[in-house]
Amino acid sequence: MKTKVAFFDFGGCEGCQLQIANLEEDVLRLIDIVKIVSFREIMKEHSDDYDIAVIEGSIMRPMDEERLKKIRKNAKILIALGACACLGGVQRMINQWPVEESKEIVYGNSEKIKDNPYFDNFHTKAVDEVVKVDAYVPGCPIDRNEFVRILIAIIQGKKPPLPDYPLCVECKKKENICLFEEGKLCLGPITRAGCNAICPSYGSECEGCRGFISHPEERAYKEVLENYSISVEELLHKKSIFNYRYIEKKRDKNE
Closest by CA to 94, choosing from 61, 71, 63, 52, is 61
Q: Are 6 and 13 in contact (CB under 8 A)?
A: no
For each of the domains in the chain, give its residue range(s) and CATH number, in order of start: 3-155 (3.40.50.700), 168-254 (no CATH)
Q: Are 101 and 117 in contact (CB under 8 A)?
A: no
Cα separation, 210 vs 206, in Å, equals 10
Helix, coil or strand: residue 56: strand
Tens digit of pLDDT per residue, the chain (255 long)? 899 999 999 999 999 999 998 987 777 778 889 999 999 998 999 999 999 999 999 999 999 999 999 999 999 999 999 999 999 999 999 999 998 888 888 888 777 787 888 888 888 999 999 999 999 999 999 999 999 999 999 999 998 889 999 999 999 999 999 999 999 999 999 999 999 999 999 999 999 999 999 998 888 888 989 999 998 888 877 888 999 988 888 777 665
Closest by CA to 94, choosing from 199, 249, 248, is 248
Q: Please give the C-alpha separations between residue 230 and each of 89, 109, 166, 204, in angstroms, as whole numbers.
A: 25, 41, 20, 18
pLDDT, position 254: 64
Q: Give ∠ CA 189-15-154 in degrees, rounded to 5.
A: 75
Cα separation, 21 vs 148, in Å, equals 12
Cβ neighbors of 40 (< 8 A, separation 6 or more) are: 7, 9, 46
Cα separation, 114 vs 152, in Å, equals 45
